[in-house]
Structure 1
Amino acid sequence: AKEQALLEKEQERQGKEQALLEKEQERQGKEQALLEKEQALLEKEQERQAKERLAAKLRELGINPQTI
């Protein structure tokens, strides 16, 4: 009976540990999703800045960027 109680306690402990691991994985998944969103925003911003620089260069050359 004592051994059975110890086994049950160990199983309970492992269950709690498993739940903690799952929570941690969920948290990391959310963090990953946020990082991916941020990365996409950064890429969009870089693209926008590159287009702006190109438009400025074209204007310097006397070309209207809207005509391209």
Structure 2
Amino acid sequence: MGICYILDGILIFYGIILTVLYCRLRMHSATKPPAEKQPAEGGIYAGLYSPSNDTYETIRTDKKSIV
């Protein structure tokens, strides 16, 4: 039964440490201004948009009737 008290104490101590670290992380991220996104001019997104190409192509609706 004594070992249970020791394990409970370790668990409570572990929970307190994790809570303090989480609060510090939240406080540091709240004080930093959010980074502004810059438009990609020639990066990995170059060539993905072409105004001359249609997004959708028309499906041919010619059906041969089976008689």
Larger radius of gyration between Structure 1 and Structure 2 = 2
Q: TM-score by structure 2 length?
A: 0.48
Q: TM-score by structure 1 length?
A: 0.47
Higher helix share: 1
Ranked by relative contact order (alpha carbons within 8 Å, sequence separation 6 or more), the top structure is 1
